[in-house]
Every structure is written in C-alpha cells, then in structure tokens.
Amino acid sequence: MRRPLIVLLWSGGVEDEVFVKLMKESLEQTTSEMSTLDGAARQLIANRLGAPFNLASTLHRLSRLKLGLDQPQVLTSGLHKLLNATLFHIKRDLKHKGRIKVPHSYTLVGVCDEDDYLRPRQIYACVRHFDAKSGRADVRYLEGRFLVTRSPVIHPGDAQVVWAIGEPPVGSPFYGEGNNLPNVVVFSTRGDRSVPSMLGGGDLDGDPYNLIPLPELIPRYRYNPANYDNPRPKKIGRPSTIDDVADFMVEYICHDALGMIATNHLVIASTSELRARDENCITNAELHSKAVDFAKNGHYVENHRIRKAKYDKFIDEETGMGLKPDWQAGHGRDPTDGRYYECDSVLGKLFRAVDMPAGNHQESDIKQQVPTAIQRCIASHVAKYKDEIQTTFSSPTTVAFIQSLLLRYKSELNHICVAHTISSESAERVSEVEVMLGINLEVSSKPDLIARMKNLTHSLANAIRHQLKATEAETNFVWLGRAWKAYLLTSSLGDKTFGALSFSWLALDSVLDALQTIDERFLPHTGPILPPFAFIPSRRSEPGENIPPPDYDNWNDWVDSIREVVQDQSDDTEESNGQSSTTTNNRDNRRNTSGSGNYNSRGNDRTQRSSNSGQTKGSNGGRRAGYRIIASGNISF
C-alpha cells in the first residue's frame, strides 16, 4: 500500500489510526526480523534487495546451518553495513512513500470467468504457496468480503468491494485438481460492467489486482467508478516516418504530465476538507486517465488544465510564500527548516511516525572484519572432501586465477559505481554496499538509473559465478576447491578493500552451491512458490533435515589454513614475484594448448576430465569465451 491508495481509502472514511497502526506494525516487524539471518533474508526478498548476489538465499542457508547474528564472530563490519543499509532503505520507503505492508493481502493476476459461473461482483481466488516450515504446499481459498484495487488509484471509485466464493463446491468448473486455477483472481463476466473496468479502466491482459480482506480498510462510503470516453488515436493521414517518431518523442518529453497531476492530486486531497472528493481532485483524476494513455493515442494534457495545489494554508511572514505540508519534504531535507508546516492529514501523521536512523548509515561500529565463525562452519563441511579438492585448493595457479579475477571484478564494479552516481557534482560514488543491494541511499527518485545499475550488476555477478563454476571438462570438486579458496582469500580482506566484500559473498554462494551439487542432502532444496498446476507433494524434507554431518576430524586443518593463507602470501613475496613471469607464460600457453598435463586457466594443476570426455574442449584451456582476464598484476592477500 502506498500514498495514493492511502489517500483514497482515507477519503472513503477509513480512520487515521488504522494506517498509523499498520505503519507501526510494519516498523516493529522489520526491526525485529533484521536481528536474525532468516528474518533479514525475508526482508531482502520482500523488498527485492540483493538479488544479483543471492544475499537472501545465502543468509537463509547460513541460518539453516545453525548460525546466528547473536553468535560471536558472525556479525562483521561488512555484514553490519549491509543490514544497516537495508533497514535504512525500508524505513525511507515507509516514510516518504507510505509503503506499508498489509497483512493477509494478495496481489494476483486477473482472468475472466470463461464458464460464466460467477455472479456479478463475485470473484474466485485460490492461493497456493510453499511453506518452508512444514515442507508442504498450502492451498487457501479466499472467502468473504474483499476490497479490490488496481494501480494507479486516483479516483474515489478506483476501489471496489467484491465477494470471494471460497472453496468451490462439487460440480463447479473450479473444483478438482487441475481446475482450481491457483494464484490468479477470476472475475465474473456478468453484470452491466465488469469489475476490472471499474478500477481505472483495467482489463484482463495481465494486469495485477490487489485483494485486501481487512474490514477496517474497507471504506464506509462508496463511490461510483469513473467512466471516461476513450479518445480516438491521433492520426497523421499518411505513412509515418522516422521524423514522426522523433517528433513524438520530443512531444512526449515536453508534455508528459503524469507525475505533476499525481503530486497535485495528493496535495489537494491532503489539505482539502473534502479530501479526494474535492472537485479539483475529480478533475485531476480524469486528466490523469488521459495522461496515462498519452503514449497510446497521442493526446496529451495541456498544462493549464491541471488543477494546481494552492499553498495558502500557512504563509511565511518574511517571504510571503506559502508553506508546503511536511510530508512533501524529500529525502535529505529538513521538514523543520521553515519551508514546511506540520500537516494534520493522514499523510503527515504517517510521515512523522517514522524516525530515520541518525548518523552515517553506511558506517559500522563493528570492529570484526573477518567472518571467522562462518568460515569455521563452512570449513567443517568442506573438510569432508579435503582429499578431492586438495590439488585445486593448494595450487599456486588457483591463487593467481583468483587474483586476476578479483582485479577484473574490481575494475568492472568501480565502473558501475562511478557511472551510476546520481549527482555529477558529488565526490561520493555509489558504494559497494549500495550496488550489492541494488539501491541508492541518497535518492530514490531515479528508478530507471537504479534498474540499469541492477542489470549491469546481475551480468557482472553471473560472470564471476560462471568463472568459479566447473566447466564440462572439470569435476564439481574442482569447483568446490576454487570457490572455497576464493572465499577464504577475499573474506579475510574484510570490507576495507574495495570489491572484496561483495566478491566474498559471491564466492560463499558458489561454495554452498557446490556443496549442494556434490551432495543433495546438504541443505535440501525447500523450493519457492510452486508454479500453477504443479504437483503438490504430500511431504518435503524439513529445513535442516538429513544434513550430512560435518567432518570434525579434519576441519581444524581447514580452520588453521584460513590464517596461514594470509601469512604465506606475505612471507613468500619474493617467490610470488619470481613466479609472475612463469604465470604469464603459463597463461599464454593455456591459450594455445588443449591443457593436457598443463595448468589450466581455472586454477587446478591438471586439467580435470569428466568421465565421458577424453580431452578438454576448445583451445582456451577451459576458460569460457567472452570473459578475458586483463589483470596486469597480483593482489597481495
């Protein structure tokens, strides 16, 4: 739920206290869940954060390995920065966007009742999701009175009340496995007008609809839905040319008034006694509907027709200018600087209900740099395959490969950070933590720029996983040894070295994937939401059930090697320098040989062959095409 829907329901008679209560519950739940690994994973998924680095999945798997933030040497400075930035981002959305979580509500794609079974204003919805705690796919049939909305909401009639029929009776077209249409909402085809068309002119070509069952959020006052005439598409009377396309693009940039209309609508509704029922709001709602279709039909909204907000409720005596409501103070602005007044509307109350954390949200007071507890936990499971991965793990070529890969990664990551800094005058680039989460903590009004940053980060993260993973000519033990070495080296650097923190989380995710690939009993897959029409299992493995026991006989050797690796690198500087030319020659040789008996580019001493392959494929010694290592030197670990 966001500000436009809040204003619409508030205008329909929903009390302010209902929204404030939901806001406080969201804050309490978020703060509570951020204190555990599993809870933090749920918040990352709910807010779509950290997807390129699989942060939510990694935190969840660490939790299943019995690790917790309250345990010593688990919470490092880098992890603390990630959690702080996540909490700051969620609170910022709550404060400046009113992004409140509504319990027991669903967002489902709408479809029509092809069998003509439902009566007018009836809906049918079957929600099926996988419960990780019980290991079963739960099915719930929605029943009773529901409020249905669709984005965008601006007219008072853009929220309608419908009746969900619940579990379908025997003989209905929705009865029985394969007919229950899971995770969609079915609308009736009867009546004078379809419900989707009442919701801002919605249709059933993939539009999502929000279903809210809470009785306290159902407005007391009902409004007839808007009914606007659709203008005919603008025609030029001749075949279009590329010049016409260019002219329309310029016209669209100059006359796109959607944001202006929506902002003025909120300000007028929050300051008027009639709220969204104000005549100016009704007019802006019609103009908003026209502006939405500007790209489709070519008809734009003239600026002079937009009803503007009049900031005349409070006047600054010194300047004579009107003060704005405090909820309009953007992120980074002080609502008490004399340009804003304390608004008594629901938006003002929600704005003041959230206190943003003080201080630098990108800093951490945690001194712990190395996640020793996580290293030891993973080492106890990796130790089971000590003999199988020893060759790859101990090879100098593995270290050289990881150093080169990290250099390339740092260069690409630095480019992403610099290219997506919002202000060209700012000396601060986007931080590594922000790139990991896919956010910008300075502003939130550049969704296109942030989306592009996410896409580039996805590509970079996938390239690193691709390089750490085993090729067709290698075994999964080579993958495990290489990823485990990469994690130990980069996680030991902490978050002081740029790029090491995010690279270590990629390596950790790769280690866990390798362990699960080698032995499926290691953290058995619990699964996401099951797709429609998928078979519902009667029993799944409990989380943490049948996990192979760690190898406590050999794990101490692996724990000791964590510190020894760092020490060996500093002690053997001369030896490493002497090997640099040899490594370069080997790299050149790997480009022109099949790898038989030589070092390959993935870091193992001998080229590993799969059981059905007698020779390595290609002439690049195992390196995948399209990812050339351009490192000119080594990083001192």
Instruction: Please check whether residue 631 is in contact with residue 407, taking contact to mean a CB–CB distance below 8 angstroms.
Output: yes
Please state the rounded mean pLDDT for residues 182-203.
92
State what percent of residues in the chain have pLDDT above 90. Answer: 60
pLDDT, residue 188, reads 95
pLDDT tier, 268 (very low <50, low <70, confident <90, very high otherwise)? very high
Show Cβ contacts of residue 470 under 8 Å, excluding neighbours closer than 6 positions. Answer: 476, 478, 479, 602, 608
End-to-end C-alpha distance for the chain, whole angstroms:
48
pLDDT, residue 536, reads 38
The residues facing 144 across adjacent strands are: 164
pLDDT, residue 589, reads 44
Q: Residue 624: is its pLDDT beyond 70?
A: no
From 336, 238, 226, select the one nearest 282 (Cα to Cα).
226
pTM above 0.75, yes or no: yes
What element of type H or E holds 21? helix 16-33
pLDDT, residue 586, reads 46
From 548, 494, 246, 265, select the one nearest 371 (Cα to Cα).
494
The 10s digit of each residue's pLDDT in 422-451 is: 765 555 688 999 999 999 887 766 788 889
Instruction: Please check whether residue 276 is in contact with residue 158, taking contact to mean a CB–CB distance below 8 angstroms.
Output: no
Show Cβ contacts of residue 627 under 8 Å, excluding neighbours closer than 6 positions. Answer: 463, 466, 467
Tokens matching residue 541: 């493995």
Show Cβ contacts of residue 28 under 8 Å, excluding neighbours closer than 6 positions. Answer: none
Instruction: Please check whether residue 146 is in contact with residue 163, taking contact to mean a CB–CB distance below 8 angstroms.
Output: yes
Please, which contacts does 290-296 make with residues 24 or more away whose CB atoms are closer than 8 Å? 290/228, 290/231, 291/256, 291/257, 291/258, 291/261, 292/152, 292/258, 293/230, 293/231, 294/252, 294/255, 294/256, 294/258, 295/252, 296/233
Show Cβ contacts of residue 562 under 8 Å, excluding neighbours closer than 6 positions. Answer: 372, 375, 379, 488, 492
Q: Residue 129: is its pLDDT beyond 90?
A: no
Sort residue 608 into left (φ over 0), alpha (ψ -120 to 50) or beta.
Answer: beta
CA distance 508 to 106: 34
Neighbours of 183 (CB within 10 A): 17
pLDDT, residue 570, reads 44
Instruction: Please check whether residue 170 is in contact with residue 129, taking contact to mean a CB–CB distance below 8 angstroms.
Output: no
CA distance 203 to 195: 9
The 10s digit of each residue's pLDDT in 158-179 is: 999 999 999 999 989 998 877 8
pLDDT, residue 179, reads 81
- Half-sphere exposure at residue 88, Cβ-oriented, CA atoms within 13 angstroms: 24
Instruction: Please check whether residue 487 is in contact with residue 402, taking contact to mean a CB–CB distance below 8 angstroms.
Output: no
Q: Are strands 143-149 and 324-325 parallel, antiparallel or unpaired?
A: unpaired
Average pLDDT taken over every residue of the chain: 82
pLDDT tier, 608 (very low <50, low <70, confident <90, very high otherwise)? very low
CA distance 398 to 482: 7
Whether the bond between 152 and the residue before it is cis, its omega within 30 degrees of 0, is yes
The 10s digit of each residue's pLDDT in 360-385 is: 666 777 888 899 999 999 999 999 99
Q: Residue 625: is its pLDDT beyond 60?
A: no
CA distance 328 to 314: 15
Tokens matching residue 412: 């690409």
Q: Residue 459: is its pLDDT beyond 90?
A: yes
Q: Residue 313: is its pLDDT beyond 70?
A: yes
Angle, in degrees to the nearest 10, between helices 500-518 and 447-468: 50
The 10s digit of each residue's pLDDT in 33-47 is: 999 999 999 999 989
CA distance 80 to 71: 14
pLDDT, residue 447, reads 82
What stretches of 240-304 show up as alpha helix (H) in DSSP?
242-255, 258-271, 279-292, 294-297
**Lookup result for tokens 């929506």:** 262
From 192, 218, 197, select the one nearest 207 (Cα to Cα).
197
* Domain locations along the chain: 3-100+361-533, 106-213
Please state the rounded mean pLDDT for residues 71-92.
92
**Lookup result for tokens 């020659």:** 585
pLDDT tier, 592 (very low <50, low <70, confident <90, very high otherwise)? very low
Tokens matching residue 572: 């053997």
